[in-house]
Each structure stands twice: as structure tokens, then as C-alpha cells.
Amino acid sequence: MSDINETQVIIAGKVLTLTGYETAEYTQKVANYINKKLDECKATASFRSQNKETQMLLVALNIADDYMKIHERNAEVESLIKDKDKEIYNLKHDIVTTQSRLDKADEQVRTLQDKMAESSKKLIQLDAKLRSKEKEAKSESKNADEKKAEKSSSKRSASAAVSEDEKSASSVKASEEKKNETVAKPAEDKKTEAAVKPAEDKKPETSAKPAEEDKSGSDEGSSDSKPTHFVYKQESLFKYDAPKPVTEPRLVKDGDRKPDNRGPVPFPFNKK
């Protein structure tokens, strides 16, 4: 235990020695507080009119009043402190619950991150597979295009060979036709010469016949006989573009007659 301390204090102009376990400073503060209260009470006229015993009772009452007010304030402060402690406790509880929730959320985030990493790995694998499949498809398409190109080239070469064969065949046919034409032309020339020669041989006969026909025509006109129509056909010397045969007689007057190498054209009508 601590030692008992003795301190001398002055209260109401009297020197007193106080003993206790408190320090001298604390006892001096108490003495000073009592002296202040005495001074406050002496400041009022009603306090000075009282005797010393009542004065001391009034001082004690004021000190007790201060104590009670301070005690009430302390109680209020303690109640406030308790309320604050409860709030702090609730806040701490909320903090603990939120911390637990955060821990759970962190665990969920970690699991989700692990899942994301696994899914990203799977995506990378799938992407690699897709790229390999695309490369395979491109290579297959290239091979198919090359095969098609080879087939088309083979077809073109076959068609070119067929066309060359056709050209050679057509050239052979053309040469054969030319040979046939060259062989046929002399025969046609011979035919035309044979056709022309009889006409030349008949020229004097045609020149001699008109007078006889005129006479016979005059006699036949007197006897009312019908005139006979003569048609002159000229054979063409050419193979193609032969003129059409004359189907109707050509009427020519006596003054308009012109001599022809083939002989005069007979005019079958009677003279007036």
C-alpha cells in the first residue's frame, strides 16, 4: 500500500493539515475548489447576511449541486459511450460479416478465374483445331481446283485434237472436192461445145426457113389456119446462173429486127 501523505491547506483563512493516500497536489486542488465556492457564495448579499454555520451549509449545498450535475453529465456521457460502444460493436460485426462475404467473394472470383483460364485454354485449343481444319479445307479446295483444272485442260486438249482432226478432215474433203471439180469441168466444157456445135450447124437452116414460113403463113392466112408459135431457147455455156427458159413468144416488128449470129427470129403472125 502507498504511504499516507500529510498536506497543509488554507480553507476560509484557516490552516489545516490533511492526511490521506492522495497526493499533495490533488489535496491542494480540492482546497482551492472549496475556496472558489466560498468566494462565489460571498459575492451574494443574502449569503453574507447569514451566520457562519448557514454559510458553511450553503457552500456544502453548492458543492453537492456541482457534484450531482457532474455525476448526471457523467451518466449521460456513459450512456452515450455505451450507445457508441454498441454501434461500434454492430459496426465491427458488420465488418466481420462483410469481411467473411468478401472472403467468399474472393473464393468465388478465384474459382471463376480458374474456370476462365480453363475456358481460355479450351478456346485456344478450339481455335487451333479450327485453323487446322480451315487449312485442310483450303488444301482440299486447292487440290479439287487443280483436279478440275487438269480435267478442263485434258478436255481442252481432247477438243483441240478433235478440232484438228476435223480441220484435217475438212481440208481433205475440200481437196477432194477441188479434184472432183477439176475432173468435172472438162466434161462440162465438152458438153457445152457439143451443144454449141449443133446450133452452129443449124444456122443456115434457120436463115432459109423464114421465107418458106412466110409463104406458108400467107397461104395459111388465106385458108384461115392458125399460126404456129416458135420459141428459141439458148443453152448457157455456164454451169451456174443459167437463164430461165422462155415460155412466151417475143413480139418484134419487121423494122426492129436485128440480125443475130444465131439467125433471124421467126415472126409467126400474118402480115396485113
Q: What is the pLDDT of residues 163-197, one digit of tens each?
A: 777 777 777 777 777 777 665 555 555 555 555 45
| Contact call for residues 69 and 63 (beta carbons, < 8 A) | no
Portion of the chain with pLDDT greater than 90, in percent: 31
Give 122's pLDDT tier (boundaries 50, 70, 90). very high
Instruction: Average the pLDDT over 98-108 and give the result.
Output: 92
HEC profile for 20-83?
A: ECCCHHHHHHHHHHHHHHHHHHHCCHHHHCCCHHHHHHHHHHHHHHHHHHHHHHHHHHHHHHHH
Kind and range of the H or E run holding 210: helix 203-222
Cβ-based neighbours of 55, under 8 Å, separated by 6 or more: 41, 47
- Residue 19's DSSP bridge partners are 6
Q: What is the pLDDT of residue 74?
A: 94
Average of per-residue pLDDT across 104-109? 92
**Residue 110 or residue 243, greater confidence:** 110
Signed CA dihedral, 114, 115, 120, 126: sign only = positive
Distance CA 58, CA 44 (A): 12
Report the C-alpha gap between 67 and 47 in whole angstroms: 20
CB 262 within 8 A of CB 199: yes
Write down the domain spans for the chain. Answer: 5-80
Cell numbers 483563512: residue: 13
Strand partners of residue 85:
none
Whether 77 shows a pLDDT value over 90: the answer reads yes
